[in-house]
Amino acid sequence: MSILVTGGAGYIGSHTVVELLNNDYDVVIVDDFSNSHPTVLERIKELTGKTFTFYELNLLDKEGLHKVFQENDIEAVIHFAGFKAVGESVSIPLEYYHNNVTGTIILLEVMKEFNVKNIVFSSSATVYGMDNKAPFTEDMPTSATNPYGYTKVFIEHILEDLAVADNEWSPILLRYFNPIGAHESGRIGEDPNDTPNNLMPYITQVAVEKLEKLSVYGDDYDTPDGTGVRDYIHVVDLAKGHLKALDYSLNHTGAQAINLGTGEGYSVLDVVHAFEKANDIKIPYEIVERRPGDIAVGYADPNKAKELLGWEAEHSLEDMCRTSWKWQKNNPQGYNN
């Protein structure tokens, strides 16, 4: 029996595949390399000493996906594949809705055809929108402020409705907070296609002098130092949370939304200072205007993951800063080295 990992060559996907292989799961990856690189597959084999089945495939290719299920005995799916850039989603909404939502519906149709009803879905804390007050709990209403966020809200509803219509389905909707950091080896990590949107990859590209300085998006929020507060979680902790969610999905039915966060909020300047201290590097920055759509404070109530999955984050902010830098320093051009 195999675990199908869509988007398994991506940042979170690759870290999760490493954990799956290290725990003796049989893995099938589908990825179209739209936000990842073939080198990742070699690095996964290097880190685990194991191999896996791979198909270069976009989920919109229903025939190709059907072949994957025909050729492999899939027992569950971990679904990462999707476009994820907030700003880009505003300028090309149709591409985001088609790729993320239609692609997921096609995946679910093929799963249904092969009677595979266990799925762990890569959702996001972005579904908590602008109106909820941290700490966020899974029962809070969901909303979005951009097409990317709406794809996550819509897919959560699709999975919940599916589980109501057919009680054999077991969808686990993992709401990631802010994944950062990298595998201890420094051999896999976050490698954005263009100029990074997210904080940590921007910081590491300033540190490696690919970018000149960090723009801090506003210091007039109602937070201790005025800069935005988020719940940063080490990508390896996140990956391990997926194995716990997979096990839960395989042994239960019904839809469950679960936060994967630390429950600890850090400001932008907290992260900058932690990075500087952990790596003995100065990060030049400039305070600029707020970024439209940003919330002031977001962090998880992590209790449901602890109670339901027996999972909690273990890595410190220092670990996240140290491993982010180790990845970037060893791979200044990302996977294009």
How many residues can be counted in the chain?
A: 337
Does position 81 bind ligand WQD by CB under 6 A? no
Interface of this chain with ligand WQD, residues 159 to 188, rule: CB under 6 A: 178
**Nearest approach, Cβ of residue 199 and ligand WQD (Å):** 4
Does position 84 bind ligand WQD by CB under 6 A? yes
Dihedral over Cα of 233, 97, 197, 225: its sign: negative
Provide the 8-state DSSP code for 17: H
Kindly indicate which of the ranges 34-42, 94-102, 196-204, 311-319 contains the residues binding ligand WQD, using the contact rule CB under 6 A: 196-204
Question: Per-residue contact track with ligand WQD, 248 to 277, x per CB under 6 A?
Answer: --------------------x---------
Nearer to ligand WQD, 197 or 316 (CB): 197
How many DSSP H helices and E strands does the chain contain? 12, 13
Does position 234 bind ligand WQD by CB under 6 A? no
**Binding residue (CB under 6 A) for ligand WQD from 15, 79, 230, 234:** 230
**Binding residue (CB under 6 A) for ligand WQD from 97, 121, 136, 202:** 202
**Nearest approach, Cβ of residue 66 and ligand WQD (Å):** 28
Q: What burial class does residue 131 get, using C-beta atoms within 10 Å of its C-beta: 0-12 exposed, 13-18 middle, 19+ buried?
A: exposed
Contact 72, 1 (CB under 8 A): no
Distance CA(274)–CA(14), nearest Å, equals 26
Which residue has the CB atom at the shortest distance from ligand WQD? 228
The tokens describing 222, both together, are 């109602």
Q: What is the dihedral of CA 295, 299, 300, 301, to 10 degrees?
A: -110
Nearer to ligand WQD, 153 or 308 (CB): 153
**Binding residue (CB under 6 A) for ligand WQD from 36, 123, 126, 249:** 126
Q: How many CB atoms lie within 10 A of CB 61?
A: 17
Does position 291 bind ligand WQD by CB under 6 A? yes
Instruction: Name the one residue in this structure whose structure tokens are 């096990």.
Output: 247
Please report the beta strands in the chain, taking only residues with DSSP state E, as ranges in sequence order. 2-6, 26-31, 53-56, 74-79, 118-124, 170-176, 178-180, 214-217, 229-230, 232-234, 256-260, 266-267, 285-288
Does position 216 bind ligand WQD by CB under 6 A? yes
Q: How many CB atoms lie within 10 A of CB 107?
A: 24
Marked catalytic residue, from 11, 25, 128, 148: 148
Nearer to ligand WQD, 230 or 304 (CB): 230
Does position 236 bind ligand WQD by CB under 6 A? no
**Is-catalytic flag, 148?**
yes
Please report the beta strands in 44-154, taking only residues with DSSP state E, as ranges in sequence order. 53-56, 74-79, 118-124
Does position 239 bind ligand WQD by CB under 6 A? no
Nearer to ligand WQD, 21 or 268 (CB): 268
Kindly indicate which of the ranges 55-63, 103-111, 113-121, 197-205 contains the residues binding ligand WQD, using the contact rule CB under 6 A: 197-205
Number of residues that bind ligand WQD (CB under 6 A): 18
Packed helices 62-71 and 103-113: angle between N→C axes, nearest 10 degrees: 40
Q: Which residues are catalytic?
A: 148
Q: Which residues bind ligand WQD (CB under 6 A)?
A: 84, 86, 124, 126, 178, 197-199, 202, 214-217, 228, 230, 268, 291, 294
